Chain A
């Protein structure tokens, strides 16, 4: 593999190079310093603490570790309560930053100002690429590697090639980041990312809010990328200032023109229609208008699909409408802060009037936990990221994925529909 330093570098190369302390070439394996490690109650203390004990060491830097409880919240089973107790005890013992019951890790981490562009971050969860929305090189690792990071502050990685995904043009009414992602899963497949760096660019992306960008970065996991990056800009800076993150100068934190790319895909937003993914894979994507399925349950939840922007979108449809008879709408806001904001905006009231059931700020059904996990033979339209067989409950449950707009419109219609007709009426 060619190792000469190039003058034009990708965003991924620049971040990894900084963390490795030298210029890096695509394809080489480097050892990098980790700026931040995020763990949650499921893959965190209960799995890493025994390994650290075996190694006979403590944390390399407790100020660079963030612990968030989300998978077993609210702890309404014996097992869940025990795991939360263990998680809390470990937090107290180590003194790491701990957000307990505040929402789903990928949403809480940036919301509390922990992420800054240019950081190299590891997360003990497969949707860790979400941090890429902020221009941080954040990726998921297993418990053994996490224990290694917690003990040493270092990790090895292969400098990835970059798959540039460019979207041009304005997103039409009724379209969201989720539609972009489902379309990409359909077009590129779940291994299209080849464990390389996916980077989103183009004026369509630049026009998206931070929370919409997080949906793109999050679902780089479904594309099979190691990360899903978006270069930081003024939108990023505004979000971070509001979140109280350390200010920084991120000029140059972009992929240079002329940098070597592994692939470059170009898409026109004008050709996109609201998407759904049929059971049991995000790659089974197609136009929502062509789906022919009655629904029993509509779920607005998860790190991917229940942020404030997602709740606001669903409320646009639900305002002044009723759920179809027999359809249950479940809403699990991704974080307590987003739920509080939605309450202040009148969005939560719209859900209540429409007859939705509000669930805790946690992974819940998305992780297959809780009293509301899907029962046999139900059909669900969901704003989550994955519809693998049996993930959200019984293996006979049929889960479709769609944007929060599509989920809300389908809950009103009682079957999967393109949300644009209802939006036009609402206008």
Chain B
């Protein structure tokens, strides 16, 4: 089980991967991830935790580090009402589960929860769960492999062996 961090609408890539820490590499970016909106996030985030946000998550620039920082912190994924297009692409290709749902009001900040990307559920404590929009079928294997490069590696290894 992880815990839920709630965020609002329009979380942008500069909040996720602050430009001023770019030179420090992914370690520094992850350590300062979201510090301008939720200073308690990066110091407390543990593997398995989940971000639950509003509309247009990941808006802004095309920097891949925005998704990479979350993956580096071990996040189980992000659930939001909607995602910005390029962030969504980057997240999938880096193996970070990103799922949508129209109503996330039952997911409270700090609550224990588990993300089940393949099953399309956000499982809350006490058997409760929120149904999420299912991940597109052709993207599931990419997420399961941990991103585009590992996915292709496995695919070519299989084809090479066949």
Contacts and interface: CB of A to CB of B under 8 A. Distances in A.
Please tell me the size bucket of the interface on B. Answer: 20 to 34
Please tell me the size bucket of the interface on A. Answer: 20 to 34
A152 interface: yes
Contacts of A191: 59, 84
Interface in A137-195: 141-142, 144-145, 147-148, 151-152, 156, 158, 160, 191, 194-195
Interface stretch (A27-35, A351-359, A411-419): A27-35
B22 interface: no
A191 B64 CA distance: 18
Contact of B148 (A28, A31, A144, A195): A144
B153 interface: yes
Contacts of A30: 138
B149 interface: yes
A57 B156 contact: yes
A148 B85 contact: no
A292 interface: no
Given A31-B138, A142-B64, A194 B148 contact: no
Contact of B139 (A148, A156, A194): A156
Given A142-B64, A144-B93, A144-B149, A195 B84 contact: yes
Interface stretch (A48-56, A73-81, A201-209): A48-56
Interface in B63-120: 64, 84-86, 88-90, 92-93
A195 B139 contact: no
A126 B152 contact: no
Interface of B: 59, 62, 64, 84-86, 88-90, 92-93, 136, 138-139, 142, 148-149, 152-153, 156, 160
Given A55-B152, A55-B153, A156-B138, 6 more contacts: A56-B153, A142-B64, A142-B90, A147-B149, A148-B152, A196-B85
13 contacts: A28-B136, A29-B136, A54-B149, A54-B153, A55-B149, A55-B153, A56-B156, A142-B62, A156-B139, A156-B142, A194-B85, A195-B84, A226-B85
